[in-house]
Amino acid sequence: MSAQNRLRHGWGWALGSVVLVSCAQLSLKYGMQQLPGNPGFSTYTAMFEYRYWAPVIAPIAVGLVCYATSVLCWLSALARLPLSLAYPLLSLSYLLVYLGAILLPGFNETANAMRLTGVVLVCIGAGLIAWPSTRKDPENAGPGT
């Protein structure tokens, strides 16, 4: 694989990792939204059955699997991209989660211009923190480097 090709694949893996992290958050939220109502006395025994909790547990399990997969994607992204290019990309997930919660059906969260501005600012700030410093400071990485 040519070096350029490798870099391009790296972007794909990094983007996949960001999307998976956002999906994980959204499906965790979706799972918690499915928490059943306060059951009356007649359904008391149902609380001890898996079927009762399945709508909650399944999306949460999906979210955790998404997390694990995103870590794997991240590792293959890092094998192809320098960390300084990949790391600021992670802050995109703030924007993705916000847009997902507003646009996807089933979340019903309200759009708000001020809040969107806040999320974009947080994205920029987190990206800036992840951006590499121009100075080399090897003592930051710990002994041995």
Query: Which amino acid appears at position 107 of this protein?
Result: F
| In the complex, least distance from residue 81 CB atom to other proteins, rounded to whole angstroms | 20
Number of residues lying near other proteins (CB under 8 A): 45
Residue 98, CA distances (Å) to 54, 76, 82, 107 in order = 26, 26, 27, 11
Work out whether 74 is an interface residue with other proteins (CB under 8 A).
Answer: no
CA 47 to chain centre: 31
Distance of closest approach, residue 8 Cβ to other proteins, in angstroms? 28
Q: With contact defined as beta carbons under 8 Å apart, do 83 and 17 qualify?
A: no
User: Which two tokens mark 47?
Assistant: 């609380």
Q: Which stretch binds other proteins (CB under 8 A): 33-41, 43-51, 68-76, 78-86?
A: 33-41
Would you count residue 71 as binding other proteins (CB under 8 A)?
no
Question: Count of CB atoms within 10 A of residue 127's CB?
Answer: 16
Q: Distance between CA atoms of 72 and 133, rounded to whole angstroms?
A: 26
In the chain, the amino acid numbered 4 is: Q
Minimum CB distance to other proteins smaller for 29 or for 80: 29
Of 10 and 59, CB closest to other proteins:
59
Residue 73 or 101: which CB sits closer to other proteins?
101
With respect to other proteins, which residue has the nearer C-beta, 41 or 139? 139
Sites of contact with other proteins (CB under 8 A): 25-26, 28-29, 32, 35-38, 60, 93-94, 97-98, 101-102, 107, 109-110, 112, 114-115, 117-129, 131, 133-135, 137, 139-140, 142-144
